[in-house]
Amino acid sequence: MAEDSTKTGIGTEPGMGTGTDTGSGSAGGTEALRQGAERLQASQRAMTEAGQIMSQRGQQIMQEWMRTAQGTLERRAEQMRQLAAARSVTDVMRLQAEIMQAEYSEGVEFARRVSDIAMETGREIMQRGTAAG
């Protein structure tokens, strides 16, 4: 019980070919499809590049974290030796304050390095997206 498209108006909009339409509207529709496909391909390339950049930067962040963790382990071993060698409660308190300050500074520095990597990631993705678009 299919109705004729001339009665319903469905499929009669400009650029909506019926499959047998060879009028000028189908050429425009074909061009629009081609352009849409090209934009889709460009978007897919941009997303792939962005994913690659983010993967590389993720590796940089992981390497940075590993360097920081290694340095922390080495510092902690030295700090424990210093605390064990302390001769008074005053020395222990002084060392603890120094340790806390050093750990805080290292944490801030690590956050800055990771932030720099993240900012560079965003800049590179935006630059490539602007150049591609």
Query: Does 10 or 114 have the greater pLDDT score?
Result: 114
With a pLDDT cut of 70, the percent of the chain lying above it is 79
Q: For residue 85, what pLDDT band results from cuts at 50, 70 and 90?
A: very high
The answer to whether 121 and 57 are in contact (CB under 8 A) is: yes
As a whole number of angstroms, the distance between CA 75 and CA 101 comes to 13
Helix (H, G, I), strand (E, B) or coil at 71: helix
Q: List the structure tokens of 20.
A: 């047998």
Q: Taking the domains of the chain in order of start, what are their residue ranges?
A: 34-132
- pLDDT above 70 for 15: no
Q: List the structure tokens of 88.
A: 């008074």
Residue 25 is predicted with a pLDDT of 58
Query: Does 133 or 73 have the greater pLDDT score?
Result: 73
At 93-126, the pLDDT tens digits run 999 999 999 999 999 999 999 999 999 999 998 8
Residue 91 is predicted with a pLDDT of 96
At 24-81, the pLDDT tens digits run 557 778 989 999 999 999 888 889 999 999 999 999 999 999 999 999 999 999 999 9
Residue 133 is predicted with a pLDDT of 59
